[in-house]
Chains A and B, each alone.
Chain A
Amino acid sequence: MSDIRNSNPDGEDYEPQIGPASTDAVGLAAGGSAAPLPGEDKSYSQGQLVARRFFRHRGAITSMIVLGVIIVVAFTSIGIGPIPGWWPKDYTLQYDKIGDGAPTWEYPFGQDTGGKDYFSLVMRGTQFSLIIAFAVGIISTVVGTLIGALAGFYRGWIEAILMRITDVFIIIPLLAVAAVLGRMAGDSGIWGLALVLGLVTWTSLARLVRGEVLSLRERDFVLAAQAVGTGAWRIITKHVLPSAVGVIIVSATLSISSAILLETSLSYLGFGVQPPDTSLGTLISEYQAAFTTRPWLFWWPGIMILTIALCVNFIGDGLRDAFDPRQNRTKD
């Protein structure tokens, strides 16, 4: 009985000051991961805790590195716009073919049927695919968040109208509406394509954010803010959306990966990137017949798409675990 350390008269010392709020079986089963390391006296914001959990996700970190390398190589090798890259060959020029154009030291990805350097072509395609994917990700996230937040926060007729609009977009197969819009925007280059794709892919995020906002607006801290007289805009931006940031970021990541695939599908159907621009989708589409004769023309762009989408998906998974640690049990 003597080893009761806290025996000063202030009863509150019996509360754990910092650390797992509860040692109940359930709390521990769920990982109790909201708590910082025992004994550490440093202060962590939610964001820092999320980052710590994210960096423990090995798949996500590997994917981060791989994706980083791909982005750096794609943009520095052949340069972008007027800025030249370090790769000596140009994707527009036709070189003398070495043999049947199979990969060599000089042409690591081989040459296409006309003798073009396939490495620089693939890099060019990767650039375009990445730009479109990230632009679409950003646009659809902004639109989806805005619509979802407004619908969830204001309820009533605003919600009814916004959600019916969302339903309209959901009921048209995404590929169909993207194809129609892509065809219309085909002439305005990749930015036009990115814009229209972004404008049709926000629906699932809007629904998610609305659901999240619906539950958040009933939370006590939002009610407390309202009771003080906080304006709607401040409540949405300062109290509601920061708490929904997990859902938003994860969804944004996944929309990037689906945008990559959507763009390649559209380009394959002929409604996406138009020549002379090149994306990974147009490359595969153009060379799929060469599978048996010149397999490298088929493999490289496909592997590129696959790798990028896989990395983005894994990063999304890591973020999901980091933001929502409930299912992230301690391993034994």
Chain B
Amino acid sequence: MRVLQAFIAVVALILVALVLAQVPGGQVLLGIVLPYLAIIVFLGGFIYRVVSWAKSPVPFRITTTCGQANSLPFIRQNKLDCPSTKAGAVGRVLLEVLLFRSLFRNTQASVHDGPKLAYGSSKWLWLFALLFHYSLLVIILRHMRLFTDPIVGFVLPLKFIDGFLEIGATTIYLSGFILLAAVSFLFLRRLVKPYLRYISLPADYFPLLLLFAIGLSGILMRHVFRVDVVAIKELSVGLTTFTPAISDEIGVVFFVHIFLVCVLLVYFPFSKLMHAGGVFMSPTRNMANNSRMVRHKNPWNDPKIKPRSYAAYEDEFREVMIGADLPVDQELAVAEPEEAAQASTEQAKT
């Protein structure tokens, strides 16, 4: 049901694009107005979200230590999984962002007769998540050839590596196919694994289906329904130079593709896709484990919260303390009927 909702949403979006591409003014809307709008919403939304996170303070240094801490000289610290310096913490976040360090630890638990619990290595999620994100990155960078004129330097070698497979006249970009494969894996595991199906929301299926549709429309455009690349480049360069114009030759698939990309951009800041920003902001990962070394300040620390004072404690227990030869700050007064009464009522209450 939840997957169906997401599926229907993506199909509906494709239909909207197909219709719009063929009504008067629709191409301008899809090709010019929406991209600008989407970029504005994406950037504005992304910044808004990050700023809104940043506005909340980090009251405590709650690093999750995943290795030996900085300690005695003869005990070897794990500087990346348990950093004690800022540089180390940066390294830890980079490891997380670039190599998905934590996912690499993943195991799969199972219960057997006995009972016996077993924890097997399970790196598929790590592998496919990595494949997905890196192929997406390559694709985005590769697309820069459409937005820049002359093409920015790094794109050509990238294009060359990514497109080393040449079948017939068309270069095949591996990244596109890897992306589809990885997205399919991530989607199917949600359907196949019972616990994942149980926790997955439409918001988990939707971006995967959307990305699949984007990738597929891109590949179709390249290999099946050929579109006029020159016209597309004119449009995209026009968009970046704020002189956009649409010529009639661009195929319909292109408009589906760009519409879905716009939807993704608009959807991004309001969804879980913001993990892209969140991963940098997670206090358990981006803080050095140096809380005993350097005092961390909490801006809302309440100085009015005081411990029960020693004086009050001694007042309550002075007699027994003296009886037990415990040192006291104040000797027992001859008669303190009021205080004793007060102490005994407090005692009675608890």
Q: Do A and B bind each other?
A: no
Residues of chain A having any CB pair with chain B under 8 Å: none
- Residues of B near any A CB (own CB < 8 A): none
